[in-house]
Structure 1
């Protein structure tokens, strides 16, 4: 080994869902929205003046912040935006988690959390989900340097109610708590209404799931003005322009079209309910979901076998070769037509086993 190689960071990165090169794949492995963005987004892109691209964007993304503030009835100073919620959460880790005590998050959750802890040298402790893969709020009543909790959780899709969230906040008033609401619009409880009651809470959302803008990379954090100021300071310490001009326009148009958001989310919820019933009839245990995906396991057929057979049929779902969930699958909710094809292929697998 060369001397310079010893100075390279040793880190295990996050592994995203497979991105197929072929267009004939039914892709149900990355929790992408099967429906297009709001027509208002399309109009905003068509009307965008390319002359603006020669200039730097507004470093505070004020047009987007203003639209978000109006939507959630917050002040612009209580909002932070970034290049996808992953960047926003990473910046929040850097800004908020530097205690000598470990931060807490579930043992089965978004696998980026331990990656960021390793990258930023943050000590952490995972808290086991119960036997039904649910978060037990009482388990977080211990000394900690902060908490990050997705609601609903991923990859399980199971959400927490308002009473649970308030109990968590009440017992951890001296810690910063990040609530990752990537999937909240598909039926879970949002903590945004509690932000003025608890000044130590940050709510982070994304435009990638319910707003069909995964390709645009837009994320937002909402919380106490002092926390938001710190996020801005951290961002400006390495890149003042994390949001490009086109994304700012698209995000502002998207957040303003509440009716379209509700329509597409309701369609996904209806398809989720129909798919849940069909899978249960084929011998699957389907966990209760408040997200745009289902977490399932079959009574007799190994998850890896189902995953590989579907992949050979050009249908991608998500398999996690991880402790406790290596016999489970995560299935993104697509269109009714996509789910009908999936269910037919799964029916064939079940009938042949």
Structure 2
């Protein structure tokens, strides 16, 4: 502490990101990164951007991200005016909290969810209520609707939820948007691309029918670009204008030149995207079955991770034992989930090493 700190800083409880350990022969399954490299087109685009004229780096990038907005718009079949881009979905969410979610009535989100949400509320002075998930760790839409339309300042949740991995059906999201027409409904879709083989359960279609729905996504997970820090939001123009007004009052140039061209290239390579996301989904099914065979309870996951607990073994002890074998998973100490491990989907070889290590530990 310091006497120079503002009252805001004194009251903050910052978000704790996943560990980035420096261990030899590390099997890193703790931060939901994609185990596969990004599309080769990403590096080609970055090399081209640098190779054409290195002097470009002395100039500011496009403050509006026109090229990237166009790529997002093509992918989702919306107008570019319906797209907002930012430096990671965390920054997009931060602007969303300030632009759309600070009202007299409290913001609502699940009690078990992305732990950055209460941090943003503390930073921006937003009143909130955390509504409990049910016994199967699912969101109950009726709990939100029962508050009354005039007593909800907004709703936000990840879909699939984090860290549980559970997916809320689109008809339930539509029911929420219809039942709270005067409240912004923000769907944080960081993991949605892993939600289904034949159809990705994104809520972007609902954006076209509901002016209060905003969808946010990231290129960190399914596009393997966690290192570039690129995120975006899709909503009707009035919502996008609110985010832009906040962005331009904070940082007019949130995305650098390399991020803009690399992210655009990744979005345009549909074949590579489809190949890698299907590989992750297949690995998820295999790992879920393997863990169940070892006696774990595994929640149904629509993400690039699984959430599992063993009825006879303490989760913290299991995480520590795995760490001794240079395998890192995520353990949360929060109430209701302190006996669960969140395990990122690695390559099949990495998942096999995890399963073998767990067999040895449990034995």
Match of 1:336 in 2: 348
Match of 2:283 in 1: 271
Match of 1:95 in 2: 99
> 1:299: Cα distance to partner?
1.6
Tell me the secondary structure at the aligned position of residue 109 of structure 2: strand
> 1:51: Cα distance to partner?
2.2
> 1:259: Cα distance to partner?
1.1
> 1:6: Cα distance to partner?
6.6
> 1:187: Cα distance to partner?
1.4
Match of 1:115 in 2: 119
Q: Deviations over 1:123-146 (max 9, x none)?
A: 000010000101111111122100
Kindly report which structure 2 residues correspond to 1:199-238, keeping only aligned pairs within 5 A, or say none: 199-238=211-250
Q: Deviations over 1:230-250 (max 9, x none)?
A: 111100001100010100000
Match of 1:48 in 2: 49
> 1:70: Cα distance to partner?
1.1
1:201 and 1:183 map into 2 onto residues whose CA distance is 18
> 1:163: Cα distance to partner?
1.4
1:128 and 1:310 map into 2 onto residues whose CA distance is 31
Kindly report which structure 2 residues correspond to 1:1-80, keeping only aligned pairs within 5 A, or say none: 3-5=3-5, 9-10=9-10, 11-49=12-50, 50-80=54-84
Match of 1:104 in 2: 108
Tell me the secondary structure at the aligned position of residue 196 of structure 1: helix
> 1:164: Cα distance to partner?
1.1
Detail structure 1 runs of 4+ shifted over 6 Å in the superposition: none
Instruction: Find 2:187's aligned residue among 179, 186, 190.
Output: 179
Distance change (3 Å), C-alpha of 1:7 and 1:287: closer
Distance change (3 Å), C-alpha of 1:24 and 1:163: same
2:4 and 2:279 map into 1 onto residues whose CA distance is 54
1:320 and 1:205 map into 2 onto residues whose CA distance is 24
Match of 2:86 in 1: 82
2:6 and 2:246 map into 1 onto residues whose CA distance is 28
1:191 and 1:85 map into 2 onto residues whose CA distance is 16
Distance change (3 Å), C-alpha of 1:206 and 1:3: closer
Match of 2:176 in 1: 168
Kindly report which structure 2 residues correspond to 1:300-319, keeping only aligned pairs within 5 A, or say none: 300-319=312-331
Distance change (3 Å), C-alpha of 1:240 and 1:24: same
Distance change (3 Å), C-alpha of 1:289 and 1:48: same
Match of 1:282 in 2: 294
1:221 and 1:46 map into 2 onto residues whose CA distance is 27
Contiguous gaps of at least 5 residues in structure 2: none
Report if aligned partners of 2:89, 2:218 keep a CA contact under 8 Å in 1: yes
1:293 and 1:210 map into 2 onto residues whose CA distance is 12
Tell me the secondary structure at the aligned position of residue 49 of structure 2: coil
> Structure 2-normalised TM-score?
0.95
Q: Deviations over 1:96-142 (max 9, x none)?
A: 12211100000000000000000000000001000010111111112
Report if aligned partners of 2:24, 2:326 keep a CA contact under 8 Å in 1: no
Distance change (3 Å), C-alpha of 1:246 and 1:282: same
> 1:8: Cα distance to partner?
6.5
1:192 and 1:251 map into 2 onto residues whose CA distance is 19
Matched, 1:133 2:145: no
Tell me the secondary structure at the aligned position of residue 156 of structure 2: strand
Report if aligned partners of 2:8, 2:123 keep a CA contact under 8 Å in 1: no
1:293 and 1:45 map into 2 onto residues whose CA distance is 29
Tell me the secondary structure at the aligned position of residue 228 of structure 1: helix
User: Bigger shift: 196-205 or 157-166?
Assistant: 157-166
> 1:281: Cα distance to partner?
0.6
Length, aligned pairs only: 351
Report if aligned partners of 2:23, 2:326 keep a CA contact under 8 Å in 1: no
> 1:22: Cα distance to partner?
2.9
Q: Deviations over 1:53-99 (max 9, x none)?
A: 11000100101111111111111110000000000000000001221
